[in-house]
Amino acid sequence: MKKIKNIPKFDRPREKLQKKDVKALSNLELLAVLLGSGVKGKDVFEVAKDILKLVEKDFENLTLNKLKSVEGIGLAKASQIIAAIEFSKRFLLTEGIKIRQAEDIVKLAEELKNKKQEYFLTFTLDGANNLIQKRTVFIGTLNQSLVHPREVFADAITDRAAGIIFVHNHPSGNVEPSKEDISITKKLIEAGKIIGINVIDHIIVGKSEFYSFKERGLL
């Protein structure tokens, strides 16, 4: 593996970025720029290579803790990388996406299928059903105390959203809604009416199927 000190200054990642534009950098070089430097006994390219292996293996399920497990990566550098990825995802995800049916949302929540915990996501939409933003509101078993309308609708209000779609997963694979799921949905629909944001659907995702409250006539 080449070491950064052995690379001519003009061809080092930061200098290359400045001179040739970001598109000229390889994936390894992009990670090296994000990292900024290596660690004791380990060059920045060596650290970047270990991270790249992790990213290529399971990008969708990359977490802060997984990044911290890489030798030489502490909280600060792991946070920089995970934040940069999330920032990119948010802009790439929302550009020009129109939501027409439940399947459109299910595709955007693909990562939930294999999660071992329950995740509650919101998708905010404008008046023409264009996606504004996808957010993970919380992680954990759904109950009335966790799913508070204030937490769920706070960002939707900031987005000036016209509509919102809720998505959560059932790690068991059984997508039938529980009494709690139905109760929470009713509570959120009422809250949406008060603040003027239409609850378009609540979708439960399993390993191989999904349940749409709207399609089943529960909205």
Domain segments of the chain as ranges: 4-94, 102-212
User: For 9-35, how does the pLDDT look when each residue is reduced to its tens digit (9 = 90+)?
Assistant: 434 667 777 776 777 778 888 888 888
Give the contacts of 174 (CB within 8 A, at least 6 positions apart).
206
CA–CA separation, 85 and 79 (whole Å): 10
Nearest-Å Rg of the Cα atoms of the chain is 21
For the chain, give the percent of residues with pLDDT over 90. Answer: 38
Task: Give the CATH fold of the 102-212 domain.
Answer: Cytidine Deaminase; domain 2 (3.40.140)
CA–CA separation, 58 and 137 (whole Å): 22
User: To the nearest whole number, what is the mean pLDDT of the chain?
Assistant: 84
Residues shown for the chain: 219
Give this prediction's pTM: 0.62
CA–CA separation, 176 and 179 (whole Å): 10
pLDDT band at 8 (very low <50, low <70, confident <90, very high): very low
Phi, psi of 166 (to 5 degrees): -100, 145
- Pick from 147, 207, 156: which is nearest to 180 by CA? 147
Which tops the pLDDT comparison, 156 or 58?
Answer: 156
